[in-house]
Amino acid sequence: MTTQQSDNSLRARLRRLRRPRILGALAVTLLGGGVAAWGIAQRRAPRPVPKAVFWGRQRVQLPGDGVGPLFHRRYFVDFDAPRLRLRPLMDKIKAELAEFSPKLLADFTKVKGLPGEMQVGDEYTIEILGPWNGDVRVSEVTPTSFTFVTLEGHPEAGQITFALRRQPTRPWAVRFEISSWARSRDMLVSLGYHEGKIGKVIQENAWTTFCERVVEASGGKARGEVQVVTEERSETGEVVAVV
């Protein structure tokens, strides 16, 4: 699937949604899911954040700063025989982040850091369809993964990781995964997400498209569709699957 085809597919899907509801619910659509490596992706808690990441113009907004249940969202796709190795593919994602994200829903602009690379402390502004923009800061970078934390004012409070890893049982196959831990920034955002119901649809479209473009860039072939798994952790700590 080409970038143009994926954009057209997104437009078709969005036309089936009621725009007034989209604008009201987009407060929480940007933070889908991501945890760094294969074992890390199965973590039952958010990633630790280095102290140095807290230094900056804007305050870091972590899950503990949000309200309501904590959501763990995962979007992943397995693919075979990529022409690019893991590190060159991840370097491409880091350098061309905006090209992997669907501009119709989430447009990344780097506002701090050198172009063409990614380092801890770099910052991005995300222009979201409607009035819901947000900023993120890079909190962790490895050769095959990177993690963002949300900054003050973002509609969600949390973190999101993008990671590549070779599957241990199929060494010729690769998994790309986006995984996040996030709460709503405040009650207004929380109500918009749960009552509007459209936030989940927009979020899945954004990160599903991102996963599809990673497979395309790799030169490999997807083993089935992008998978989406969401768990909700209540204030008491109980974890339940969200359909």
Domain ranges, ordered by start, for the chain: 3-242
CATH class of 3-242: alpha beta
When mean pLDDT is compared across 101-105, 177-181, 205-209, 211-215, the lowest value belongs to 101-105
pLDDT at residue 171 tops 80: no
Write out 80-113 in H/E/C secondary structure: ECCCCCHHHHHHHHHHCHHHHCCCCCEEEEEEEC
178 neighbors 77 (Cβ within 8 angstroms)? no
Give the residue with greater pLDDT, 99 vs 190. 99
Mean pLDDT taken over the chain: 81
In the chain, pLDDT over 90 holds for what percent of residues?
A: 51
Q: Which position has the higher pLDDT, 59 or 198?
A: 59
pLDDT over 90 (residue 210): yes
The pTM score is 0.80
pLDDT in tens, 88-123: 999 999 999 999 999 888 899 999 999 999 999 999
Within 13 Å, how many C-alpha atoms sit on residue 229's CB side?
Answer: 13
